Amino acid sequence: MGKPCVGVLALQGAFREHAASVARLGAETREVRQLKDMDGIDAMIIPGGESTTMGKLLVEWGMLDPLRQRIEKGMPVYGSCAGLILLCREIENSDQPRLGVLDAVVRRNAFGRQVDSFETELDIPELGQSPIPAVFIRAPVLTGVGPRARVLAQVNGQAVAVRQDNVLATSFHPELTPDTRLHRYFLEMCGN
Beta pairing, strands 77-80 & 43-46: parallel
Alpha-carbon span 148 to 165, nearest angstrom = 8
Candidates 17, 18, 88, 173; catalytic one: 173
Please choose, out of 44-52, 141-149, 157-165, 181-189, the segment that lies near ligand GLN by the rule CB under 6 A. Answer: 44-52
Q: Does 50 bind ligand GLN (CB under 6 A)?
A: yes
Please choose, out of 22-30, 79-87, 141-149, 177-185, the segment that lies near ligand GLN by the rule CB under 6 A. Answer: 79-87
Pick the closer one to ligand GLN by CB: 75 or 110.
110
Pick the closer one to ligand GLN by CB: 49 or 174.
49
* Helix 51-60, helix 64-72: angle, nearest 10: 100
Four-residue CA torsion sign, 94, 95, 96, 100 = positive
Report the residue from 81, 142, 176, 182 that binds ligand GLN according to the rule CB under 6 A: 81
Could you give the 3-state DSSP secondary structure of residue 153? strand
Q: Does 29 bind ligand GLN (CB under 6 A)?
A: no
Q: Does 49 bind ligand GLN (CB under 6 A)?
A: yes
Alpha-carbon span 95 to 13, nearest angstrom = 20
> Which of 152, 153, 154, 150 minimizes the C-alpha distance to 164?
150
Annotated binding site for L-glutamine: 49-51, 108, 137-138
Binding footprint of ligand GLN on the chain (CB under 6 A):
48-51, 81-82, 85, 108-109, 137-138
